[in-house]
Amino acid sequence: MTVTVLEPAAPAAEPVLQRPSLVGRTRAGLAAALAEIGVPEKERRMRVGQLWNWIYHYGVRDFVAMTTIGKGLRGALAERFTLDLPEVTAEQISTDGTRKWLMRMAPTGPRDRGAEIECVYIPEVDRGTLCVSSQVGCTLTCTFCHTGTQRLVRNLTTEEIVAQLMVARDRLGDFPNREAPGGAFVPKDGGRFVSNIVFMGMGEPLYNFDGVRDAIDVISDNEGLSLGRRRITVSTSGVVPQIGPLGDEMGTMLAISLHAVRDDLRNELVPLNKKYPIAELLEACRTYPGVSNAKRITFEYVMLKGVNDSDAEARELVRLLKGIPAKINLIPFNPWPGTKYECSDWDRIERFSEIVFRAGYASPVRTPRGRDILAACGQLKSETEKLSARARLMLDQEEAAAATTG
């Protein structure tokens, strides 16, 4: 049974551009904000450190709470900026404890009503994983993925990516001196609720390289949110030219959405394969900076009944990955409305896993989480759509008519 604890809010009639929020900004972004309100350059580094601590360590939502900052500066900040988080328009809780949030971002312009994205929190016995989005929609059209049916609207900004973690920690009481909501997962070791982040939500992270890189810098800063880079995994469908830079500049764990062992089939399941075929993708994995048995690459393989789940394909997967420090995540397909695929039978999944395991690779079968609230792998989608040129023209005409009559 699904428990919905917050009903979706009605869309705003007209977007209202508000004071910008400081939440999610990099250190350079906070320094720029201080420059805007006239803080002398020689003071900015110290003030950035103070803001950083209050925003990211303590998670405060009001400048008044920043007691180490003078009253005058707090007032100047409050006049020009906010500490607002994205609006949570719906929150759903699965029977297995998974939580899905539909978040509406602040409008970015006069025609933007606030893009919506989905973010999922998955509690487990030894960890709490947050699945974050990097884009609104997706350009890749992978045929087994629900997000692929939603056209790309835009990249999320660095601030919007970081804000997903801030929303999760805020709603879970995962900041100092906060209370956890009833029934929430509580780490047995006294650690944080969100201990791991995976870029496996909406969008292709490597097509938003700069935004994701800067967000990871904020998230991993040990004076704030303090999530180590080994606890952050970036998943890609195979944007080969960016895989090396991902390792060099971000230093995170890498996951590859593989899903097929033949180019003809992967061309259908993951159309990006037509540009970067399997051989090129695996070569990029072999040379991924820092790859080793201590830093293995995860290969994700969705199990589709009668499509990619034969014994022969399991053996070919083993052959393809030879020489790559790897583990294989077998993902039972999570159905969504309108899909043409079915999940492989359980005995078929177990047989596939056994072949891979006997070849020396860890091959866990991912337990489906949040299926009842469409929060499982491949099920995320929002209703935000990109305005067509015709729609923009109609809005221009409506605004012109309103101005004339007003």
CB 85 within 8 Å of CB 166: yes
Tell me which residues are annotated as active site.
118, 377
Q: How many residues does the chain have?
A: 406
- Give CA–CA dist 69/75, Å, rounded: 10
**CA dist list (Å): 213 to 26, 163, 199, 251, 289:** 11, 15, 11, 10, 16
- Give CA–CA dist 93/58, Å, rounded: 26
CB 217 within 8 Å of CB 251: no
Q: Across-strand partners of 99?
A: 93, 121
DSSP SS3 for 89: strand
Residue-range domain boundaries for the chain: 19-83, 87-373
Q: Residue 279 burial by CB count (10 A; 0-12/13-18/19+): exposed, middle or buried?
A: exposed
Q: Residue 264 burial by CB count (10 A; 0-12/13-18/19+): exposed, middle or buried?
A: exposed
Nearest one of 267, 280, 373 to 320, comparing CA atoms: 280
Q: Which CATH number fits domain 19-83: 1.10.150.530, 1.20.210.10, 3.30.450.20, 1.10.150.120?
A: 1.10.150.530
Give the single-character DSSP code of 192: -
Q: Which CATH number fits domain 87-373: 3.30.200.20, 3.40.50.300, 3.20.20.70, 3.30.70.20?
A: 3.20.20.70
Per-residue pLDDT of the chain (406 residues; tens, 9 = 90+): 454 555 445 554 455 557 999 999 999 999 999 999 999 999 999 999 999 999 999 999 999 999 999 999 999 999 999 999 999 998 888 888 888 899 999 987 777 778 889 899 998 877 899 999 999 988 888 888 876 667 888 999 999 999 999 999 999 999 998 887 766 665 555 567 899 999 998 899 999 999 999 999 999 999 999 999 999 999 999 999 999 999 999 999 999 999 999 999 999 999 999 999 999 999 999 999 999 999 999 999 999 999 999 999 999 999 999 999 999 999 998 887 888 899 999 999 999 999 999 999 988 886 666 556 554 444 444 444 544 444 444 545 555 565 555 5
Nearest one of 111, 92, 114 to 102, comparing CA atoms: 92
Same-fold call for 19-83 versus 87-373:
no
Q: Give the start-end residues of each E strand in 237-284.
A: 253-257
Q: Which two tokens stand for residue 137?
A: 């929609």
